[in-house]
Chain A
Amino acid sequence: MPSPSSPLACLATSGVQVAIGPFLVRVRSDLNGVHEYLHHLYGDFQVAAGEGGHFDIAVVSSRGVRRWVRPQANLVVNGERPFLPLPGKLAGAGFEWSLNWCVGNQAPRWVAVHAAVVERGGRALILSAESGAGKSTLCAALALNGWRLFSDEFALIDPDTGRLTPLPRPVSLKNASIEIIRGRGADVVFGPQGVDIEGARFVHMKPPVQSVRRGLEDARPAWVILPRWVTGRPTTLEPLPKAHALLRMTDQSFNYNHLGTKGFACVADLVRQCDCYTLEYSDLDDVLIRLESLASS
């Protein structure tokens, strides 16, 4: 249990402000699970006691009997309750899901596209895929292999500059990915493992410290790739018509049209600047080599 003087001590009272990428996130919780989760996975982030922030996330116990018997975690985001109460053990994950909801739906100053992003040499690689296609595993593997993690959930595009802003956060891994990634780096740190509503094992990987320290360094977009893990498939990188990439990106963004024509133009310009591909693979090591050579060309 952290000392009373640590910033997290205020979690259950006035709350804390965590600087996550460009956002100041206010968090309050009376649940030990959230305390532990933040302590383990957000140790490299700036945390201060305080109110106010871009988003206000409260993960709170239920009143009455459900506070103690099969305890629940209630997620309250700026006064709204976008989720049903969760089992208490999923409180830490509940914090991450709440943050996803905030960034994806609340039309902040950036256009947010649901995608993973990694950076190398000042250039950003955007990975856009459906759930279950292996995007997070690939993203985590890249982040442990010479690429800087920007985010495993959101590409944040600044509509004025066209550049991508990092949003380093714990990477969410499920089922077999957990063992795959655990075996890839001595300094991989995982948070508590859980089982989600659908029965999938999940864990959050602590973001590499460099991704957090360099969390304010943006990058220009260079590649958009739609990856898909397919059993037995050799690494196949094929050009994707940009019009298709554009449709995919707007499809994966819930807030571009809050910014109207400016938001759309932002995504259209990004696609124009990037080389766009589809990627199918089954060998993670081989893909890493292929992408590394893409980055040096």
Chain B
Amino acid sequence: MRESLTDDLRWRSAVDLVWTHYEDSEDWVVFHPQSGDVYLVTAAAHTLWSLIADGTAPTLKQLIPALAAALNRAPDDQLAAVTRDTLGFMDRAGLVRPISL
């Protein structure tokens, strides 16, 4: 994934995702009907997704502080790197998609 591409893009969620959560842990399972794939993700990753799914079409730059606030953590380099990686994973999985420039 080319670095500059990820920074400039605005993101939206894929449609028809099926998110499942059970009370006995913080993890989420998501089913993506378009691909037929299933993923196990952390609560933090689910939070990142919901910041995209709310329809505000954020960029990565906007997501980092928003995620930090939602997770009650400092928006430091480590968080930025993890956010970028998780966004990249979600992009490859098709859970989120960029809006064309």
In the assembled complex, the Cα of A262 lies from the Cα of B40 at a distance in Å of 19
In the assembled complex, the Cα of A30 lies from the Cα of B69 at a distance in Å of 71
The smallest C-beta distance from B42 to any residue of chain A, in angstroms, reads: 10
The answer to the question of B27 belonging to the interface, with a C-beta cut-off of 8 Å to chain A, is yes
Contacts of A251 in B (CB 8 A): 38
Contacts of B20 in A (CB 8 A): 243, 246, 268
A261 touching B22, Cβ below 8 Å: no
A243 touching B18, Cβ below 8 Å: no
Given known A241-B27, A261-B31, contact A271–B36 (CB-CB < 8 A)? no
Can you name the residue of chain A whose Cβ is closest to the Cβ of B22? A242
In the assembled complex, the Cα of A55 lies from the Cα of B20 at a distance in Å of 34
| Interface residue ranges of A232-247 to B (CB < 8 Å) | 239, 241-244, 246-247
Q: List 10 A-B contacts (CB under 8 A).
A: A241-B24, A242-B25, A243-B29, A243-B40, A244-B25, A246-B38, A246-B40, A251-B38, A260-B33, A264-B33
Given known A243-B25, A243-B28, contact A257–B18 (CB-CB < 8 A)? no
B: number of interface residues (CB 8 Å): 16
A243 touching B27, Cβ below 8 Å: yes
| Interface residue ranges of B61-100 to A (CB < 8 Å) | none
Chain B 45-64 interface 0/1 with A at a Cβ cutoff of 8 Å (1 = within): 00000000000000000000
Chain A 203-247 interface 0/1 with B at a Cβ cutoff of 8 Å (1 = within): 000000000000000000000000000000000000101111011
